[in-house]
């Protein structure tokens, strides 16, 4: 991570730029550095980019899940005294953004989801491997991307360490189960927050039909596809992702 993190009380976060806050919500095994290109681009284009570290492994097991992370996000927004924010979430982070927007819509000006869980039950359980040998985990990590080379040794090592750490593995499984419990299908038709859906055409974790379902169920959404792209569009096709998002934010006068 080339950016410096700030710590205030229980919150550790990155903050770059000035303007309307874009709060980025990382995935279950996604480091903050997965959003380096988004951070660099939008902090230079009139936005304040903020990435709080979600308490994925630090909450008590009974509280570990989508609902608690959404509450944590509300506490963070209140702590920072933000008035209106844009939420951007990938994978589990998208689900946290959706759930937060359902429960605490007042300060959410816009929502951006990419490869989000929340509809597709096996979306998280499928993609996070069981404990196993390094090659198996490497193959699983590569499968998240259209271009397997994006899964650097650093990324594979991080996943390997997580699934071989008993505490982290238990928390990971708890979050996956919580994602299934908090299926958003019934809630989405009542959520009027403008939503930008950016999806990799070759996403094998949350397949394209998941994006289509989000788009059908949300009353005010726009769906954009990125070709030759898997589950983490902001990492795999950063320039295209940033252009789509900036264009959408301008069209929506955000």
- Strands, E assignment, 27-165: 47-52, 85-90, 108-114
Q: What is the mean pLDDT of residues 51-66?
A: 92
**For 217-238, what is each residue's pLDDT tens digit?**
999 999 999 999 999 999 999 9
- Please state, for a pLDDT cut of 90, what percent of the chain lies above it: 73
End-to-end Cα separation, the chain, in angstroms: 28
- CA–CA separation, 11 vs 83, rounded Å? 18
- CA–CA separation, 147 vs 246, rounded Å? 24
**For 145-204, what is each residue's pLDDT tens digit?**
999 999 999 999 988 888 888 888 889 888 888 988 899 999 999 999 999 999 999 999
The H or E element spanning position 222 is strand 221-226
Tokens of 238: 């950063």
Residue 129 has pLDDT above 60, yes or no: no
């Amino acid at each position: 991570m080339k950016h410096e993190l700030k710590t205030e009380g229980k919150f550790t976060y990155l903050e770059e730029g000035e303007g309307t806050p874009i709060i980025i919500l990382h995935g279950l095994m996604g480091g903050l550095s997965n959003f380096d290109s988004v951070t660099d681009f939008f902090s230079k284009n009139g936005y304040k980019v903020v990435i709080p570290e979600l308490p994925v492994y630090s909450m008590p097991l009974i509280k570990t899940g989508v609902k608690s992370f959404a509450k944590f996000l509300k506490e963070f927004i209140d702590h920072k005294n933000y008035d209106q924010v844009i939420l951007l979430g990938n994978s589990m982070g998208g689900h946290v953004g959706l759930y937060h927007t359902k429960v605490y819509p007042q300060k959410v000006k816009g929502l951006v989801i990419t490869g989000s869980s929340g509809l597709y039950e096996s979306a998280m359980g499928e993609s996070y491997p069981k404990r196993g040998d390094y090659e198996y985990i490497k193959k699983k990590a590569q499968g998240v991307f259209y271009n397997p080379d994006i899964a650097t040794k650093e990324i594979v090592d991080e996943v390997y360490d997580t699934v071989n750490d008993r505490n982290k593995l238990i928390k990971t499984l708890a979050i996956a189960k919580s994602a299934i419990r908090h299926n958003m299908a019934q809630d989405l038709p009542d959520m009027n927050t403008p939503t930008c859906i950016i999806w990799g055409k070759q996403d094998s974790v949350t397949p394209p039909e998941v994006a289509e379902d989000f788009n059908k169920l949300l009353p005010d959404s726009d769906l954009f596809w990125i070709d030759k792209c898997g589950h983490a569009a902001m990492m795999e096709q950063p320039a295209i992702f940033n252009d789509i998002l900036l264009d959408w934010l301008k069209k929506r006068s955000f």
